[in-house]
A and B are shown apart, each in its own frame.
Chain A
Amino acid sequence: MRILNEVSLDVYEGETLGLVGESGSGKSTLGRTLLRLYDADSGKIEFDNLDISTKNRRELRPLRSKMQMIFQDPYSSLNPRRRIGDLIADPIRIHGHASEREIHVRLRELMDMVGLSHSFLTRYPHEFSGGQRQRIGIARAIALKPKFIVADEAVSALDVSVQAQVINLLMDLQDELGLTYLFIAHDLSVVRQISTRTAVMYLGGIVEIGMTDDVMHNPAHPYTAALISSVPSHDSIMSKSPRIKLQGDPPSPLMPPSGCRFHTRCPFATDKCAAEVPFPHDVGSGRSVACHFPIS
């Protein structure tokens, strides 16, 4: 099954790139493909000027410490049979040449960074709440001092107050450690809060990418506009664009529509949209849109 189609994406050092789109649009697949957890059928992935798309599992191992992932489900992402201390120390034991004493110090440092008590280190995952588990997952991800982290719906499973805490933690860690994030979410308000740039995905392709403020205030792609107008808000800060309601479900990625993949649900679609695939083109200020008739 073809999930991602003709995706081209650059992530710059130190930024947070938000990736939004509805379920099944391929956000998580894109994130995992970047980390080579899934294999791409074709194309090229470069990390730090190094082509990683041709490396095998063994060759990738030393690079793993540079790029990490935070998972959506804080329950299934921690092995229930291992203590928190071991879960976080394992990557350090594998990659570093640290003594057990140094690891012990590092573990305490990491627990301080994510705001958890040192006494948790000897406990098992089942004793913790979702928010705490997510902090444990973050501690594990930053244990190897990575440059790049894919946060795959990292806060979607948490309740709103905990969401805010975890987002603040992620932003603090970014300042402290100079991290680059690919922040995957379906919640626009979360993405607006954390991302410098935002990319919008629909049915396996990126339809629009640009600075978060630009994308949120002046969506150029009809799908972005629809997504933004679907967010309930008491003021009109999010968007001045007209309300667009989408009808029906997204088409199956098994049989994607011809031409523009969005044309079956797009209110502005013409015959051209059904016939020709729109390629992403620059519309100024680092903004790129894949639409024949972008909203201006």
Chain B
Amino acid sequence: MTTASNTSADPASKVPEAEQPNQFNVQIANGEASSAFAQKRLFQLRPKDKGNNPRGPWKTAFSRLLRDKLAVASFVFLAAIVLSTASATYYADHISQTDPFQSNLDGQIEINGDPAEIMAADSEGLGLGVTPIGPTWTGQYLLGADAQGRDVAARLLYGGQNSLIVAFASTALCLVLAGVIGTVSGFLGGIVDTILSRLLDIIWAFPIYLLAISLSIVLISTGLQIGPFHIPSNSLLLPITIIGVVYVPYVARPIRGQVLTLAKSDFVLASVCLGMPTARILVRDILPNVVTTLIVFAPIMMSLSILTESSLSFLSIGVQPPAASWGTIIQDGQGLLYTRPLVAIAPGLAIIITVLCLNFLGDGVKDAFDPKAKLRVGKG
């Protein structure tokens, strides 16, 4: 039997409605006898001690995210990847001691005191070709060299820098554009909505990669002219703009839908009824509720952007040489697939790990910010 008098579920000892916290610690006490009854206590329900610190929606979501171990682990992993790519210059100068943007066909390095050719002549067949050095697993040429004798490890870090910059910037561009278009479209409605929605439909009508590839091919030859600004064809801004734009409809549509719902919601009606100016309703009532959706989209869009950037770079229409990205390194490694597979595999793994982490983080963020998950019992 449970000793109901010890629990706050008992109406008599009920905490006043106002003070009722929304989190409880449930403990199952084993064998401990309660004072009033010489019986075993089976259940114990106590309110969690939470001071007078109100928990806002942001705090709640953030603490929920912190309880998601997979998401936290993914975040740590991502932070490590970002930090290591940020140290690319240091790595190239002090550890690899080569210029990863300069071909090095007749260089030599020392491995355990023995000199080794970076590009060794083939011993098989006609003996005409050269094979780049394989992974040394020590400081210089840790992962070997590519077809031009450049240190793959150093290029991997520099390439990661570019891949992450492009992914981050294009995601930011995409979310800002989609946020503005979706909000304006949903809130103003009418002719504005019609025009914006049809524009989005036009982008939507193309398969993403077809559109991205077509835009890249056209713009890579001429560069992009936006008013007085010219983006040269070797600039990172070009893939950033292209990737940012092609994904806009995929985010703007749901935002528009959400704004439509919000604009009809009771609390917006209440604001209208209170005589709030339209701009204030937009800023106070609509935007804060839309921002969460954008946050939920961010990691997912970033992982999609990394994949798109790599694909474009692999096809030589993304990041332009001599700059590297994970996509261009895979392309470099394509010809060495049978002799030095690590050149292609290493950036491939980097992409997979980054994308996986972003997706796990994205799942965690979604759960943390999704109000429907509110009733879920915390795992931690």
Give chain A's interface residues, CB within 8 Å of chain B.
32, 35, 37, 57, 60-65, 68-69, 71, 73, 76-83, 90-91, 94-95, 116-117, 119-120, 122-124, 126-129, 131-132, 137, 140, 144
A68 and B17 in contact (CB under 8 A), knowing A79-B285, A94-B280, A126-B57? no
8 A-B pairs within 8 Å (CB atoms) are namely A78-B267, A79-B284, A81-B289, A90-B271, A90-B284, A120-B18, A124-B55, A132-B18
A95 and B275 in contact (CB under 8 A), knowing A76-B267, A82-B284, A129-B17? yes
Report A-chain residues with C-beta under 8 Å of the C-beta of B18: 116-117, 120, 128, 132
A80 and B57 in contact (CB under 8 A), knowing A71-B270, A73-B266, A120-B18? yes
Nearest Cβ on chain A to B374's Cβ, whole angstroms: 8
Nearest Cβ on chain A to B24's Cβ, whole angstroms: 14
B54 adjacent to chain A (CB < 8 Å): yes
Question: What are the 4 closest A-B residue pairs judged by CB atoms, nearest first?
Answer: A64-B275, A77-B266, A91-B274, A81-B288
Contact B275 A124 (CB under 8 A): no
Contact B266 A127 (CB under 8 A): no
Residue of B nearest to A122 (CB): B54
B276 adjacent to chain A (CB < 8 Å): yes
Q: A78-B270, A123-B54 are in contact. List 4 more A-B contacts (CB 8 A).
A: A32-B269, A63-B275, A94-B275, A95-B275
Report B-chain residues with C-beta under 8 Å of the C-beta of A63: 275
B interface bracket (residues with beta carbon within 8 Å of A): 20 to 34
Contact B22 A91 (CB under 8 A): no
A-contact bits for B247-274, CB 8 A (1 contact / 0 none): 0000000000000000001110111111
Residue of B nearest to A63 (CB): B275
Contact B275 A91 (CB under 8 A): yes
B277 adjacent to chain A (CB < 8 Å): yes
Contact of B57 (CB < 8 Å), options: A35, A120, A124: A124
A-contact bits for B5-43, CB 8 A (1 contact / 0 none): 000000000000110101000000000000000000000
Nearest Cβ on chain B to A127's Cβ, whole angstroms: 7
Q: In whole angstroms, what is the CA distance A116 to B17 when docked? A: 11
Report A-chain residues with C-beta under 8 Å of the C-beta of B267: 76-79
Contact A69 B270 (CB under 8 A): yes
B207 adjacent to chain A (CB < 8 Å): no
Q: In whole angstroms, what is the CA distance A13 to B152 when docked? A: 84
Nearest Cβ on chain A to B131's Cβ, whole angstroms: 61
A-contact bits for B281-301, CB 8 A (1 contact / 0 none): 000110011000000000000
Contact of B274 (CB < 8 Å), options: A78, A123, A131, A140: A140
B227 adjacent to chain A (CB < 8 Å): no
A119 and B52 in contact (CB under 8 A), knowing A127-B22, A132-B17? yes
Residue of B nearest to A32 (CB): B269
Nearest Cβ on chain B to A204's Cβ, whole angstroms: 21
Q: In whole angstroms, what is the CA distance A215 to B277 when docked? A: 42
Contact of B273 (CB < 8 Å), options: A35, A62, A132: A35
Contact A124 B54 (CB under 8 A): yes
Nearest Cβ on chain A to B37's Cβ, whole angstroms: 31
B56 adjacent to chain A (CB < 8 Å): yes
